[in-house]
């Protein structure tokens, strides 16, 4: 798979707390130049990016990020505002405390509630694999499938570890056929990116691949 084809799977990401408008503009210009799947940006920049770039760019954002323990009502409000401002894709973080407490009904209900809001827009569900047991990961595959989200996503990139090959393989095995996999966190080479895609990831959350392209 050539590098341009791999970049079509990339959510070109800038989620640092101190990201400036210049950083976001640079990200957007790179996304347009290298034809990435989207830009993944902080919610506070969605409207400005949409107003500046319009339909030239596909906007992805994050909800309940990065720790996931916001109440469902707060995540719902964030999601509605993101869509109003121009986002087409929402990456939500599950309530990991609920997962750890085995409160799976609440986890599924929350995902379903946000899916109802996103409608025909894409919802990706971050389960933060580095904090879960394999048993919990498998259960989350079932829950995300049942809740109707389009994607299950490995990581925020802000916890103890990012995506691993084994996690993507496991998720692809246990998630429903109608659910895609997004790998994120620590993807730093085209070799790794290609391996993630081969193992079943449809999207990759990273900013490093574009940086590599710019220095080729």
Q: How far is CA 115 from CA 16, 32, 61, 73, 123, in A?
A: 26, 28, 15, 13, 6
Note if 182 is an active site residue: yes
**Which DSSP category does 94 fall into?**
P
Active-site position among 11, 91, 98, 192: 91
Strands (E), 32-147: 38-41, 59-63, 89-93, 122-126
Token representation of residue 45: 């920049």
CB-based contacts of 127, cutoff 8 Å, min separation 6 = 94, 96, 99, 137, 140, 144, 152, 153, 154
Query: How many beta carbons lie within 10 A of that of residue 144, not counting itself?
Result: 28
Note if 81 is an active site residue: no
- Cα angle: 214, vertex 215, 216; to 5 degrees: 100
Active-site position among 124, 139, 153, 180: 153
- Dihedral of alpha carbons 1, 9, 55, 212, sign: negative
Note if 153 is an active site residue: yes
Q: Known catalytic residues?
A: 91, 153, 182
């Amino acid at each position: 798979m050539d590098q341009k084809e791999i970049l079509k799977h990339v959510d070109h990401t800038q989620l640092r707390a101190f990201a400036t408008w210049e950083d976001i503009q640079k990200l957007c210009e790179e996304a347009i130049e290298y034809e990435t799947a989207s830009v993944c940006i902080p919610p506070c920049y969605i409207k400005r990016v949409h107003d500046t770039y319009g339909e030239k760019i596909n906007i992805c954002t994050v909800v309940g990020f990065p720790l996931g323990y916001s109440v469902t009502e707060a995540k719902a409000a964030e999601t509605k505002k993101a869509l109003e401002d121009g986002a087409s894709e929402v990456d939500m973080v599950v309530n990991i405390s609920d997962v750890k407490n085995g409160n799976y009904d609440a986890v599924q209900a929350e995902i379903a509630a946000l899916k109802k809001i996103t409608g025909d827009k894409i919802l990706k569900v971050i389960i933060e694999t580095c904090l879960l047991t394999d048993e919990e990961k498998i259960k989350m595959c079932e829950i995300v499938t049942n809740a109707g989200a389009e994607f299950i996503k490995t990581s925020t990139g802000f916890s103890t570890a990012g995506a691993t090959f084994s996690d993507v393989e496991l998720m692809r095995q246990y998630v429903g056929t109608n659910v895609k996999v997004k790998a994120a966190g620590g993807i730093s080479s085209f070799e790794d990116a290609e391996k993630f895609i081969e193992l079943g990831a449809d999207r990759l959350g990273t900013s490093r691949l574009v940086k590599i392209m710019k220095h080729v």
